[in-house]
Structure 1
Amino acid sequence: MTGRTGKVLVAYGTTNGSTAQIAEAVADVLRKDGLTVEALPARSVTSMSPYDAVVVGGGLYAGRWHKDARRFVRRHGRTLAERPLWFFSSGPLDASAAERDIPPVPGVRKAMTELDANGHVTFGGCLEEGAKGWVAGMILRSGKGGDFRDFTQIEAWAGRIAGELTERGT
């Protein structure tokens, strides 16, 4: 890894596209810092061999990471443990993620420990009209939807990752 520009994967699990937009924002910041980056749906990644570092994100649903993010981490765990790794979650439909650090849900915390991840952050979520799913419809009908993503916070976090990878020579 050292001495060459590596390739970074930003893999994500999303239902309605909100987490994908966060992943793309992370990838854009890493690219601006000179890194080669691919942002892909977690379910579409078949091999980790092209990547030297990984960011994995998942939407939160009922206190669990999106199933595609969970499956990705299980499927590629051994390889992920050998690379610089960060996680993010997207979910709270209120301002809480912008106001304080929200710890990872238990399943993500366990994966972080097992894979020696460098960090995790929870970003606000987004649930807007047209979202798929019965539960999403209930939340929207109760007036609890909206876009609570803070792209300034997202970009600052991605900038810190870019700095760490640049220092390592990834």
Structure 2
Amino acid sequence: MPKRVLVAYGTKNGSTAQIADAVAAVLRKDGFTVESLPARSVAASVASYDALVVGGGLYAGRWHRDARRFLRRHRGELADRPVWLFSSGPLDASASERDIPPVSDVRRVMERLDVREHITFGGALEEGAKGFVAGMILRSGKGGDFRDFTAIETWAARIGTELAGAHGQDQKGTSD
């Protein structure tokens, strides 16, 4: 079983960080050693991690800059490891109602890195959020918390199962 997993994220107001922390908690419970870190604070190399989960908040149809930069900076090392991606952002129930495809910059990364999976979760925008646009959204009454932590935890458990299964294949040479 891969022992070390990094959950890296790009967030503006903390909502995506909370999703990343929920993913990390599930993986820890499944027996992995997990670090959940802001993407911009990750050291020069990710070589010490066996697998990665990278998340980014969606802003105006783009993934958070820190998440994009993280993937660019580490693309060579990421090509040799299992990688999962998540986005957070819709400020409505749409992410719980249907699969939302990745935005174009995430889709390009998925093709280049052979990413295992991408999923979009609802976002959260609550009073005190930073930024002019965030303030406009809140004043228009369209803020709120649309994250589904049950769905987040279910997805994280699937990652843990896949990682544990990959270990079984590596150990036995076959899948049972």
After superposition, residues 13-162 of structure 1 pair within 5 angstroms as 13-46=10-43, 47-162=45-160
**TM-superposition CA deviations, 1:59-82 (whole Å, max 9, x none):** 000000000000000000111111
**TM-superposition CA deviations, 1:72-93 (whole Å, max 9, x none):** 0000011111100000000000
Equivalent-residue separation in structure 1 for 2:54 and 2:97 (angstroms)? 23
Q: Which runs of 5+ in 2 are unaligned?
A: 169-176
Aligned length: 167
Letter in 2 for 1:50: S
Question: Aligned residue for 2:171?
Answer: none
Letter in 2 for 1:66: H
Shift of 1:6: 2.0
Summarize the Cα distance change of 1:105–1:5 in structure 2 as closer, same or farther, 3 Å threshold. Answer: closer
Q: Which runs of 5+ in 1 are unaligned?
A: none
Please report the RMSD computed on the Cα atoms of aligned residues, expressed in angstroms.
Answer: 1.0
The residue matched to 1:34 in structure 2 has which SS? coil
TM-score of the superposed pair, with normalisation by structure 1: 0.96
Equivalent-residue separation in structure 1 for 2:154 and 2:127 (angstroms)? 28
Question: Aligned residue for 2:166?
Answer: 168
Between structure 1 and structure 2, the one with the greater Rg is: 2
TM-score of the superposed pair, with normalisation by structure 2: 0.93
